[in-house]
Amino acid sequence: MRFEDQRQKLVEALKHNGITDKRILSAFLSIPREDYVLPEYREYAYRNSPLPILEDQTISQPQMIAIMLCELNLHEDDIVLEIGTGSGYQTALLAKIVKEVCTVELRDILSLRAQKTLKQAGFKNIYFRIGDGWQGWQQAYPPYKEFNKIVVSAAASEIPQKICDQLAEGGVMISPVGKGVPQMLYIVKREKGELKYREHLPCAFVPLVKNAR
């Protein structure tokens, strides 16, 4: 089956599993997941499951990505902070929907590979930082201090406070939290200056590693 047909089949599966946001479904339909997986896994690109990438990391399950993006309630004028660039697949999905994406990745190899893939795809609204995701968007360009949407793509042992500090008033952050498996997906909102936390659903992500270099 052609990749285009497999992509359509994946989008139909997402619809069947409750994903109704047309902008998110359109993004999934337009982004070729096969470009973001390792060559030896291209034939499995449209399985609704995580797949290995470099540095013992994974490209997340499409269904989980879709759930997280839906919970962010994305708008075209949003500036989104993504913690964990990974393969760049979720970055591409975000960039199709919102104004700008600022994405942080600890591992040089992953970030540089994702940057190459995303630039070849023609994206001009993505900004990259190689560094400790626990610190959020620091010493980076553009010099944003806060974001109205934040997505953390690896499991922190606790909700990272420095990332929460960068959540704007009225903003939404989604983050997996936990040391073991399953972890819990948390939704964090800033309302009238206060952070409010809500457990959403169990999940399984690779750990959000602190910079040990």
Whose tokens are 């919102």? That residue is 98
Which contiguous run of DSSP H or E holds residue 118? helix 108-120
Q: How far apart are CA 22 and CA 28, in angstroms?
A: 10
Strand partners, 166: none
Catalytic site includes residue 60:
yes
Tens of pLDDT along the chain (213 residues) come to 899 999 999 999 999 999 999 999 999 999 999 999 999 999 999 999 999 999 989 999 999 999 999 999 999 999 999 999 999 999 999 999 999 999 999 999 999 999 999 999 999 999 999 999 999 999 999 999 999 999 999 999 999 999 999 999 999 999 999 988 899 999 999 999 999 999 999 999 999 987 654
> What does the buried/exposed string (b/e) look like for 145-160 if buried means 16 or more CB atoms within 10 Å of the residue's CB?
ebbbbbbbbbbbeebb
Catalytic residue among 26, 49, 60, 153: 60
CATH number for the domain whose boundaries are 3-203: 3.40.50.150
Question: Structure pTM?
Answer: 0.95
